[in-house]
Each structure stands twice: as C-alpha cells, then as structure tokens.
Structure 1
Amino acid sequence: MQQETDAASRPVDGTPMPAAPSGRISFERLRERSDELELLISGLLVFGLFTVPGRLFDMWVSNTVHADGVAQYAIWFGFAVGVGVSYALAAAFMVHIAIRGYWVGLIGLKATFPDGVRWDRLISMGPVSREFQREQTGDIGQAIERADRMASILFAMSILMAVTIAGIGVFAVALMVLGSLTGALFGMADRVALIAGGVLYLLFIAGAVAIVVCEKLIARREAAGRTSDGPRRALRRLLRLYGVLVPQRLVGPMQLTLQSNLNGRAFLVVYGLVIGGAMLIGGLQVINSMKFSLLQGYDVVTEEAVDHGMLGAHYENMRAEHDALLRFPMIPSDRIAETHLRLFIPHQPQRDNVLARRLCARLIDGRNTAEGAPAARNAIDCMAAMWTVTLDGVAVPLDDFVPIERRDLGMRGLVGYIPLGERQPGRHNLALTWNAGGGETGKQRRRDYRIPFWFIPQIAERVQRD
C-alpha cells in the first residue's frame, strides 16, 4: 500500500513531487482571501473608530475636573492618545477601503474587457498623448497588482501604527505609575512623581542610544580583529530588557518586513510623522473644545469684545455640550426675576490646590482634614481667600455661601444667594476675580469673569398674582 501511495505521488517522468508545506496553515489559501479579510476588518473598524473620540471626550471631561497632579496628566495623555489614534486609523482604513474599491473595480473591468485598454480606438488622442498615457497607465493587470500591493501595505502599516501607539500609551502609563509610587514614598508626590517619570524616560532614551553606540563599537572592534564577547553579552542583555519594554515580538514582523522591503528612511519618517500626528490631533481636539473657533475670522466681534460682553458658559440655561471644559462661575439665566440671585463658584483642583497651600492657613499643606461643620467652614474660608465678588461695584461677602456638589455639572464648589429685592430693574453687572494677586501669565494667573444680567422683578410679581 505504501508503494502504491508513493507511486501515485510521483509524476509520470519519475521526478519526486515537492514536499508539502509543514506549517499548520496554508499561506496560499489565506492569501487568496486576504483582500476579503482586509475589507471586513477595515469596514468594522472605520465605523467603530469614529464613535470612539466622542465617548473618550465625555469620559475625559467628566474625570479631568476631579484630578490633580500626575493623575491629571495621565488622564489627558490617555485622551490625547486615544483620540489621535482613533482619527488617524479611521482615516487610514477609509483610504484602504477606497483603494480596495478601486481594486475591485479594476478586476470587474478586467473580467468584462479581458483585452484591457484598446489604444487603437482612442481616436481623440494624438500619437504623443497616446504613447505618454500608455507609458503611465500600463496594462490593466499591472494596475490591479499596484492597487492590491498598495492596499496590503496600507493595511499592515495601519495595524502597525495602532499597536505601536498602544504600546507607547502602556509605557507612558507605567512611567506615571512608577513616578507616583516614588513620589508617595518621598513626599511631595506630584513634584517627585514628575521628576521620577522624567528620569525614567531619559533612562529609556539613553538605553536606546546605548544600543546604537554598542553596535558601532562592536563592529569597529571586530573589523580591527579584536574580540568583543563582553560588549556582545552586555548588548544582548540590553536588547532583552528592551524586548520586554517594547513588544518587539508583536511589532517586529510587520515593522521589519515593511522597513526592509520599502524605502527604509522614508518608512521611518512616515512612521514617526503618523505617531506624532496622532498625538497632535488629540491636542487639537482639546483646543477646539475650549475655543469658540480655530478659524480666527472675527475682526469685529473679537474674543476680547465677548469677554467684556456676555459668555453663554456663565448662564446655566445657555450652556451646551461644547461648554463642558469652560468651568466658569455661573448664574441660572441672563434674566433674573427672583428676589435672590444664585451664584455658583466652581472648585477646580488643578488650580485651587496649589493656591490653597499658599493662601489657606487653616489647611494642612492645602488639605482640608477637618470633620463635620468645621470642614465646611474651612472650605468656605479658603475659597473666599481665592475669590473676590462684586455686584455693581459693591463687594459681596462669601460668608453665607455653602459648599455644594452638583452632579448635573460634575463639579463641586460654593453656592450663595445674593439679595436683589432693593435693586432697580434693568441691567446689573456681577464680577468675579480668582487669585487677584496673580500675574498675567501661567496657570496661576489672575482670572476675571464678568457676568451681566437683567433684573426683571415684574415677571415674578405677575407670576405671584396669577
């Protein structure tokens, strides 16, 4: 039976058949379906990735207001990376789908018109134009091959970028966690954590530079006929360490294959630009969410004019989802009919915690460790030291304000009710200043808020009569 099988496996001329591939998966069979798999994955990812930035923005807005120090930077970095990679990959996969669509169209034309372009029937072209177009276009089969090659390369590069940026995010989070643990051990957690994170990052860069230097040193020694067993062992240990820090087994097959088969320098340039561009997109998303418009086309009603006019973010009934990052003092509306004006002053840990260490003597290193009613009193006194409030130029004391937690705004702060009963109907001006002694630049700079409103008591009287 074995002899019959062997005989059946030989061709007529007696030459042995090539051995079957020993791998578990047939590459040729998968290659025939790779275009289908690419289209399926690209289509699913495009629709999914375009929904991710909105959800990440909502999560970032709702959490960043509560964070301070390293946690704040970690949340921002995660948001910037997530948004950047989502938009970059979504755009790349859309281009991939377009190329695959072009490829499918070419295949359909090839099946319908096997001869491809019939140049002799293009009577609208002269001989020079026809010759030039023939050189540029080539055969339709060549166009199919080019489109297929381009689509496969773009798909692989997109996946490679996603894995690389995800690895950068994990590495950055690990650095921040190690920095935070170091800061917690030595006190002054935020400052020490930032220093420790910076030192660890510099060590990582220094190690990468050391790998390049060692390679050149070993090559120079061996070219001179000297042994380099020691440097080789040291370099292999360093490479093993970086193999743990960087997922080379995951990234290597794609990166090295693309880098070695394409223009190596151009690949590295594109590789770096895409990663940097993804980070930039996240930063632009933050700026765009805080600015009214990135396009500065307002020559008349300028930002300075609006600052001395009305900002919708100061009025709770005018706030929209785009005002989520504008954590300004707020009143209910621009028209007030009640006898008291409700004023909400937000507490922002990123700014207030630093100022509290300087202005609030009752707090221990800026921390309110009291319990019960004294905790509320300490919070009021500390916020009152940061803020000054005036109504029509007359100072408004904050002694009767109370701490409040507003789940509808996702913020904590102070709330107070300013009496309006004796005031004349019409426009009134509420002004607030945070850190009146601060400078003109920097995170702790002086900040002024102007909130005009219109007191309309007759509306309240009419409602009472009705």
Structure 2
Amino acid sequence: MEHQDTPAQAGQDAGATPHAGRIAFERLRERTDELELLVSGLFAFALLALPPRILDAYQRASVHVDGVLDQILRYGYLVGAGLCYALAVAFIVHLSIRAYWVGVIGLKSTFPDGIRWDRLPLVGPVTRGFYQRSIGGLDDMIDGADRAASIVFAMTTLMALVIAWTGLYMVLGLLAGWLAGGLFADRERAAIAVFLGLAALLMLVGLGAPFADRVAARREAAGRDAGWARRLGERVLRIYGWLIPQRLVYTVQYTLQSNLPNRRFMFAYTGGIVFAFFISSWVLLNHERLAYVDSYRVLGEEAAWEGMHSAHYEAMREGPHRSTVVPMIPSDRVADTHLRLFIPHRPQRDNDLARERCEGLVDGRNEATGPAAADLARRCLASLWTVALDGAPVPLDDFVASERQDLGMRGLTGYIEVGGLRPGLHRLELAWNPEGGDSGRDRRRTYRIPFWFTPGIDQPHAAP
C-alpha cells in the first residue's frame, strides 16, 4: 500500500524545519488525559479552601490602612480570591467532563456495538432518526468529551495567566501611585492621578499596534510604502513583550481563538474573567452576613445589628466577625463593678474627619511625643464619638489610647461604672460622628450593645 504523508509531514517536506523536541508529541498526547486529571484533581478543591484565608488576611490588614493602601489590599483580595474561585469552578467542570469521558470509554469497552437502536422499546422511526442524527454514537461522544475537556483545561490556564498578570500590574500601578503621591501635599489625590495617568499611557501605547496594522494594510493595498507603520507596530509590540508574557498567553489564546467560533471564545474568555471578579466582590460585600443566602423575613440583618450581635462581644467574635471594626465589650454578661469598653480606631473613617476637626494635628498626623501624643490621640478620637448608658451620657475623659494585640486593633479603652445598676438588661449606645447626616461616607453610625448585669450570679454579694 502506498504511504501518504500527513499534513504536518507534507508541510515539513515543503521546506518547514521540524522542531526537534526532547519528547515526541504523540507520546505526550497519550499522557495528556492523565496529566489533566492529575492537575485538576489536585487544584479543584484545594483552591476552594484559599479564598476564606485570603479574605481573613485582607480583613486583618485593611483595619490598619486607608485610602490608596486600602484599595491596593482590596484589589489584591479581588484578584486572589477571584482567581481561586474561577479556577476551582473551571477545574471542577473539567473533572466532570473527564469523568463522563471515562464512563463512556468504559461503556465502549463493555458494549463495542454502542447503541442498538432496534432493541429500544417505545422508540419509533421518527424518534430513532432524530436521536441518531443529534446524539450520534459512543465514538462521537468520546471524541466530543475529549475535545471539550482539553479546551476547558487550556481556557482555564489562559484565564489564570491573564487574571494574575492583570492583577499584578494593577497592584503595582496603585503602589507606584501611592509612592509618587508622597511628593505632593494631597497624597491620596496625587496617587490616584498618577495611577490613572500610568493606565492611560499604557492604553495609548497599546492602541499603537492596531493603528499601525490598519495604516500598513491600507498603504500596502494602495501599493505605497508602509515601512514606518511596520516599525511603529513592532516597537509597540516589543514594549508590550516586556510587560506581558506573550509566549505563555498568546500561544494559548491565539490557538483557541483561531480554531473556535470567535463569539463563543470571547464570551467564555471575558465571561470567566468577569465571573472571577464578580464572585470575589459578592463574597466581600456579604462576608459578614450569617449566611450568603437566607430566608430571614422577620429577624433580618438590620434587626440583628440593632439587637444583640456577636461582633460587639469579644468572647463571641468568631468567623468573619473576628476583624469587624465595631465597639465591643468583653461579654454579654457583666458581674464586676466596672464594664470595659473598647472603641476601635478605624483609619478609613477616622482620618479624614480627624483632619478637619482635631486641633493639634499636623496635616492630619499626630506628631506629639511622650504622654502628649497619647493625650492628643484620646482627645481627638473621643471628639468623634458619643457614648450613653441607658440613655445617660458617659464622659470619655477617663478613656486611654490603647493597642490591643489580641484584637489586632488600636483605639480607646475605658471602664464604665455599673456597680450601682439594678441587675438585669442594660444598653450601651454609641454614635460615631453624631452630627453627620443620614448618607455618605461620613454619615452618623450608631451602635447598640445590650448586656446583662448579674452580680448575684457571678459575684456573690458581700455579707451585710
């Protein structure tokens, strides 16, 4: 029988130089399925365990910063958690397709003839003809599942590279803006301006390649020289080659894009990236809820915060509320004569308001030394709050500036006398920026902390 060259061999015979790889492609192809299953199995469910840890790290770090630094941390969380969620879902889909593929191969080995249409009950000629055309046989399903699994796996690695690289440059751009903003009086606005300037410059440079392509195509079609356009395009692409791992990204992207329907590819490509940021943003916005999905129609989120919420009690701060920045007391039950109250300092909210209201700060910073520094901090933060016990105002003159390593926060700590109260339920009410309005970043925020005074249970009364 006469030997016929494959298309690849024909191309090589026509003048293409074969790539002398260390391992033959066919040998690699035989093991691709095993490698895909191994990678997906290792990463699919392990990735789902990472986002809660990333969120916890973000919460603990964001307590200490504001402005651009907080945006850097927030974007780092969105990229890290979004990448984990997107990859986990993609790998689970890939595992499901591969599991189906393995099952169909098992059927093929057990029943080589596949579907025996003549032995199916209640299947007439119309139904039989429709299904024979639409679903095909086992061989078609094996080939289709194998193709789909390989495409999903390649698309997953592509999205991972793009999301990670984009996130890296966004974080580096924000950090560069923050560092450059230190040269100006208003650091935050200068940092944002520098970041937007860098992003705009990068986008303008990126438009150079499509512009050069269009100009070169038009000039060459008209028979004119397009050398300058080609040089411009190549220089732009060379610059982008320093910024983007082109061999890692574009090799996979262009292979998929040129062999798949363009609309479907772009929908899956952009949809995966949008999903990554959507799911991480949704988790961030709802992480303090008792459940992401619930049916509480009577005792909802607002009622829970207005009642007894575990975030206000140090002994109950578990799960997502470990880093919630709200005023807190040690426990819901008090037996001593004094109740400890900790009012946390939250730079994201306090810094701007303190810059406007607190005398003694130098450009919003406390540059005093020694005891004067602590006294200035106390007076400044105390001016932002009002405290009341059962409706009676509580002065903050005896509160002290403090650092709580156990909570990972700084703030004001004071002891409120409760020994003269009657046993039973009492309420602390705190208001941040009590003169603020009902909306906006500086709006009035009210916190209510119920507690039970139980001296007869936890601390026996002295004998008369």
- How far apart, in 2, do the equivalents of 1:195 and 1:335 lie? 51
1:166 is matched with 164
1:430 is matched with 428
Secondary structure of the corresponding residue to residue 195 of structure 1: helix
- How far apart, in 2, do the equivalents of 1:291 and 1:402 lie? 32
Q: 2:84 aligns with which of 70, 83, 86?
A: 86
- How far apart, in 1, do the equivalents of 2:108 and 2:297 lie? 56
2:46 is matched with 48
Residue 434 of structure 1 deviates from its aligned partner by 0.7
2:112 aligned partner, one-letter code: P
- How far apart, in 2, do the equivalents of 1:21 and 1:234 lie? 31
- How far apart, in 1, do the equivalents of 2:296 and 2:107 lie? 51
Contact 1:96 1:154 in 2 (8 A): yes
* Residue range with higher mean Cα deviation, 269-278 or 30-39: 269-278
1:112 aligned partner, one-letter code: T
- How far apart, in 2, do the equivalents of 1:286 and 1:332 lie? 27
2:259 is matched with 261
Residue 384 of structure 1 deviates from its aligned partner by 0.8
* Residue range with higher mean Cα deviation, 424-433 or 253-262: 424-433
Q: 1:129 aligns with which of 127, 130, 146?
A: 127
Q: 1:109 aligns with which of 107, 110, 113?
A: 107
Residue 371 of structure 1 deviates from its aligned partner by 1.9
Structure 2, unaligned runs of 5 or more: none
Summarize the alignment of residues 332-371 of structure 1 with structure 2, pairs less than 5 Å apart: 332-371=330-369
1:3 is matched with none
Residue 22 of structure 1 deviates from its aligned partner by 2.9
2:213 aligned partner, one-letter code: E
Residue 325 of structure 1 deviates from its aligned partner by 4.5
2:255 aligned partner, one-letter code: T
Residue 202 of structure 1 deviates from its aligned partner by 2.1
Contact 1:290 1:325 in 2 (8 A): no
**Cα deviations across residues 375-400 of structure 1 (Å, max 9, x unaligned)?**
11111011111111111222211111
1:5 is matched with none
* Residue range with higher mean Cα deviation, 411-420 or 239-248: 239-248
**Cα deviations across residues 220-266 of structure 1 (Å, max 9, x unaligned)?**
23222322222221222112112222221210110000000001122
Contact 2:289 2:301 in 1 (8 A): no
- How far apart, in 2, do the equivalents of 1:255 and 1:128 lie? 42
Is the alpha carbon distance of 1:35 and 1:460 closer, same or farther for their aligned partners in structure 2, counting shifts above 3 Å? closer
2:391 is matched with 393
Q: Does 1:28 align with 2:26?
A: yes
Is the alpha carbon distance of 1:212 and 1:441 closer, same or farther for their aligned partners in structure 2, counting shifts above 3 Å? farther
* Residue range with higher mean Cα deviation, 280-289 or 199-208: 199-208
1:456 is matched with 454
- How far apart, in 1, do the equivalents of 2:207 and 2:437 lie? 41
Q: Please report the RMSD computed on the Cα atoms of aligned residues, expressed in angstroms.
A: 2.3
Contact 2:386 2:432 in 1 (8 A): yes
1:199 aligned partner, one-letter code: G
Residue-pair matches, total: 453
* Residue range with higher mean Cα deviation, 152-161 or 449-458: 449-458
- How far apart, in 1, do the equivalents of 2:270 and 2:384 lie? 44
Structure 1, unaligned runs of 5 or more: 1-10
2:415 is matched with 417
**Cα deviations across residues 175-202 of structure 1 (Å, max 9, x unaligned)?**
1122122112234222211111112112
Contact 1:289 1:325 in 2 (8 A): no
Q: 1:229 aligns with which of 208, 227, 231?
A: 227
- How far apart, in 2, do the equivalents of 1:173 and 1:162 lie? 16
- How far apart, in 2, do the equivalents of 1:464 and 1:91 lie? 63
**Cα deviations across residues 110-146 of structure 1 (Å, max 9, x unaligned)?**
2222222222222432222122221122121121111
Contact 1:84 1:281 in 2 (8 A): yes
Summarize the alignment of residues 266-415 of structure 1 with structure 2, pairs less than 5 Å apart: 266-295=264-293, 297-415=295-413
1:78 aligned partner, one-letter code: G
- How far apart, in 2, do the equivalents of 1:294 and 1:51 lie? 17
1:75 is matched with 73
- How far apart, in 1, do the equivalents of 2:459 and 2:310 lie? 27
- How far apart, in 1, do the equivalents of 2:99 and 2:297 lie? 45
Residue 294 of structure 1 deviates from its aligned partner by 4.5
Secondary structure of the corresponding residue to residue 47 of structure 1: coil
- How far apart, in 1, do the equivalents of 2:69 and 2:461 lie? 49
Is the alpha carbon distance of 1:136 and 1:228 closer, same or farther for their aligned partners in structure 2, counting shifts above 3 Å? same
TM-score (norm 2): 0.92
Residue 60 of structure 1 deviates from its aligned partner by 1.2
Secondary structure of the corresponding residue to residue 44 of structure 2: helix
